[in-house]
Amino acid sequence: MNPSPRSCRYFLADVFTGQAFAGNPLAVFPEGDDLSDAQMQRIARELNLSEAAFVCAPRVANGCRVRIFAPARELPFAGHPTIGTAHVLAHIGAFDFRDGDNHLEFLEGVGPVPIRVVMRDGRPAFCQFTAAVLPELGDSLSSEAYASILGLLPEDVRDDRQGPDAVSCGVPFHMVPLTDHNRLGLVQLDMVSYNMWASRSWAASICVFANDPQIPHRYHVRVFSPSFGFYEDPATGAAAAALAGYLARREPQLDGSFQWEIWQGVAMGRPSQLYIEADKRDGRIEAIRVGGTAVVIGEGVLYL
């Protein structure tokens, strides 16, 4: 008789949404200590979600180590796995949380990531992380070059002070603002151009966005990351952090806290809402925060 297969419990959550089958799906493995790097990567590839998160030692009273894998590679940080893992751990009672604000810290590849978990009636209602890395800038392309990669016309991409930039809060993104939010639905990557460019670029992911003309603090967003193993992402916390940095740099006020709302995933049939904040003092960005809700939609056992 063959011995019983080793098993690993996991939970499925939809992140940056309040309802099932929307937002960005995530697999969370609360006991990932005994898994090798290769096993984690194979599991992420097998599940074929944008990311899978593995909770590992060290574990302390208010935190743990979290490793994040996309289908093609391990990531030093990602937003929706951070929010989703915090929600799942609160959901299963992994920490002694009380109603109101609670605080966690995840050790990720970028360093310690502080997280606020709001509990209501014994359940997680909202999670928010503070970016471990303040906005860093990289080399960007011309508006015309971005338009070519995105399958758009040059006039679709802004080329003024609110034009493209390359920003990272742990994961780099090319931030490409459009002149009209209605043009977002026309984006179609030219994969030949993308592959030639991404192989030598500081950032291989593209965040395309446009302001909502009716609601000034709302932005419509699409994020593309083919080199990570998925074409488009329905909700991207790391890109949201970079967008907060992009917007805060262009905010004319030198001091204050600023808030924006992101709508993403609509074109994919997985609508998502992300809430971003930035603090500035004397013109310098001092903090970036990204928050949202999540729902646990299932759990299972994976046989290794």
Q: Which two tokens stand for residue 100?
A: 């109101």
Are the C-beta atoms of residues 26 and 78 closer than 8 Å to each other? no
At 238-280, the pLDDT tens digits run: 999 999 999 999 999 999 999 999 999 998 999 999 999 999 9
Are the C-beta atoms of residues 188 and 147 closer than 8 Å to each other? no
pLDDT at residue 207 greater than cutoff 80: yes
Are the C-beta atoms of residues 202 and 172 closer than 8 Å to each other? yes
Return the pLDDT at 47: 96
Q: How far apart are CA 28 and CA 84, in angstroms?
A: 8
| DSSP-assigned letter for residue 62 | T
Are the C-beta atoms of residues 274 and 291 closer than 8 Å to each other? yes
Share of the chain above pLDDT 70, in %: 98
As a whole number of Å, the CA-based R_g of the chain is 19
At 149-200, the pLDDT tens digits run: 999 999 999 999 899 999 999 999 999 999 999 999 999 999 999 998 888 8
Half-sphere exposure of 210 (CA within 13 A, CB side): 16
SS3 89: helix
Return the pLDDT at 4: 57
Dihedral angle over CA of 63, 25, 275, 217, nearest 10: 160
Dihedral angle over CA of 39, 63, 270, 110, nearest 10: -70
Sign of CA dihedral 266, 227, 83, 300: positive
Q: How far apart are CA 295 and CA 249, in angstroms?
A: 33
Who's near 19: CB < 8 A, 6+ residues apart?
295
Q: Which two tokens stand for residue 258?
A: 């600023």
Q: Given 46, 51, 105, 261, which residue is catalytic? A: 51
pLDDT at residue 1 greater than cutoff 60: no
* Count, residues in the chain: 304
Q: Which two tokens stand for residue 91?
A: 């959901």
pLDDT at residue 106 greater than cutoff 70: yes
Q: Which two tokens stand for residue 168?
A: 């990272």
At 32-77, the pLDDT tens digits run: 999 999 999 999 999 999 999 999 999 988 999 999 999 999 999 9
In the residue annotation, 51 being an active-site residue is answered as: yes
Distance between alpha carbon 125 and the CA centroid of its chain, in Å? 18
